[in-house]
Structure 1
Amino acid sequence: MPKTSARLLVLLSLLQTRRDWSGTALAERLDVSLRTVRRDVDRLRELGYPIAAVKGPDGGYRLGAGTDLPPLLFDDEQAVALTIALQVAATTPGNGFAEPAARALNTVRQVLPARLRNRVDALRITAVERPITPPRTPVDGDVLLAISGAVRAHETLRFDYGTEATDKPPRRAEPHSVITWDGRWYLVAFDLDRDDWRTFRAERIILRTPNGPRFTPRPLPGGDVTTFVTSRFRGSAGPSGNWPCRGTVILDLPAATVALYTRDGIVEELGPDRCTLTLGSWSWPSLAATIGRFDADIEVVGPPELTRAFAHLARRFTKAAARPPA
C-alpha cells in the first residue's frame, strides 16, 4: 500500500480524470479498503477540495468545481501534450489567446520536473500560416468565450455582423459550434431570420446582450459539424461534404510525385512514369486549372464536363497568348 500522502495524490489524480467514481472502483485502483477510501476523501475535503458524495449501491464520489483552482496532476504524457497545445495556441495568430497561452506555458514549464522540462524545451513548435492579404483581423477572446458559452447553454445569440448598421434589428441565430477553418474562427449556427444554416466569421460578430431565449438544438445537415462545414466551404449543395465537381485524368508523371502535391485527391500508379489522379473542386474550370498545374501531358478519363472545361480554358489561354504585351 502506498504511503498516505502519495495515495492522496493518486486519489486526487483519479478524481480529475472522469466525472464520477464509485467507491469500489477507487478502492480497487488504490488497492485499499472502502473504509480507507472514505478516510482519504475526508482528508482531501479538509484540504479544501470540493468532493461530493454520489448515491449508489456502494457510494461514489465526484470532484466538484471549487472557488479556487486546485493543484492539477498530470502524468508525463499529459504534461508534454499540454505544453505542445499551449505552444500552438501561443504562436497561432488571430486566436485571441496567444498572450495568455504564452504566460500559461511559462507557468507550466516552471513547475515541471527536470526530466520533463528538458523534453519540453526540446520542442519548438510554431504555427505557420500562409501569408494573407489583407492580414486577418484578430478575434477577441471574450467574444469566443461568450459564443462558446451560448453554444453550451443553448441560448439564442443576438448580434450585429460586419458592417451592418447597429440601428437595424440584430441577427438572431441558434449557435451550434465554434470551429476553425484555414486559420479563421467561425460560428456555425441556424440563422432564424433566413431560416437556414450559416457560418459566421467570429471577428465580424458584435454581440448584443442579453442573449435570447433557450432553444432545442436542431439536427445539423450532414450529421456532424465536420461534414457540414466541409460541404459549405467546398461549395457543395448536398450534405455529403464532397466537392460538387469531381473528375479523373491520366498524367505522364510518377504517382509518388503527384501524391506530394495532392491534398485530398486519389493517386493510382499505372507505371513508372504514369498515374491516374481523381480530384475535386468547386467548379469544372477550377478543377481543370488545378490539374493543369502539373507539368505533364493529360488524358481525361471523365466526366465529359471536365473535357469541356479543358477546352474552355484552352480557348481562353490561346486568346491571352495572342494578345500583345501591354
Structure 2
Amino acid sequence: MTDVTRRTLRLLNLLQSRTVWTGPELADELGVTTRSVRRDVDRLRDMGYPVLASNGHGGGYQLGAGRALPPLLLEGDEATAIAVALRLAAGSGIDGLGEQAVRALAKLDGILPPSVRAEVSAITDALHVVDAHTGAGGILSSTLVTLARAVRDGVQVRVDYERADGHRATRRLEPYRVLSIQGRWYLFAWDLDREDWRTFRLDRMHEVRASTFRFTARPAPDIESYVRESISVGAYPIGARVRILRPASEVAPRIPAFAGTITADGEDACILRSGARDLTWIAMQLAWLGLPIEVIEPPELAAEISRIGTWAGEVRQG
C-alpha cells in the first residue's frame, strides 16, 4: 500500500469519525499541508465517496449520505473476492443466510467506487446459482474468480483437469457459464480439442490460466438443462428413461439434480432420465419414489425392478 493510499484511508476514517472537519484540522491530523488535503479529498471524490465542502464559520469537510458505512478502499481483486463469497453465501441453502448475503451485496454495491462496482457486477453476472444445497465440494476461490472473469471477458482458458478416473490433461476451453448446482460448481464450455460442449467440475481443476485470446460466442444449447443432463445422465455408463404417472410439478422437487432430469409428458405424467453405474441403483431410487411408473428403456430395468420386488416379497420377519 502506498503512502498516498494510506493517507487516503486515514482521511476517510477521520471524516467518518465526526461530522465536520476543517482543512487545517485534517492537515494537522495527517501531517500534510491543506493543499494536500484538498488533493486527497478530490481523490476520494474520484473514487465515488461523497465528500462535501462548505465555507464560512462552522464549515469544512464532511461525508455525505452513506458516511455511517465502514470505509472500503478495495482493490478490484479484493472487491471481486468479497462479491464471489457473498454470491456463494446466497446459494448456500442455509436458512436466512441467502437473504442476508443479498442485502450485503446491495450495500457493497452502494459504497464501491464506480469502476470497482462495474468490475464486481460483471464478475457476479458470470456466476449463476442454479439450485442451492449445503455441503459444497471444495474449490479454490482463485479458480472461481479466474473462470468468471474469463466468461465475462470472452477469452479462452487452459485448465489442468482431472477426470473421475484420475487421468489428468490440459484442456483448452471457451468458457460460457459458471454454475452452482446443489453446492457443487461447474463450468459449461466449448472444448476446442474435442470440438463439442462439455461440463467440468471446478473441484477437479488443479490450475486455471486465462489467456488473452478472445472468442466469438457460438450458438449454445440451454445451458442449465445441458449441465443437469451431463451430471445426471451423461456422466454414467448406463442410462434409463422412465415415464412417471404424476405431473412434472409434483415429481421434479423430489429429484436431485445429480439423480436425473424431469420433463413434462402431458398434464398428468413426466419423463425421468437418469444415469448410474448399475441398474440396481436406478431401480432402488424408483422404489424410493414410490410412484406408478412405466419403463421406457432399457428393458433390463423392468427385469431388475421385478427381481427386487420378488426379493422384497420373500423377506420375512425374524
TM-score (norm 1): 0.45
Q: Which structure's residues are more often strand, by fraction? A: 2
TM-score (norm 2): 0.46
Higher RCO by CA contacts (8 Å cutoff, separation 6 or greater): 2
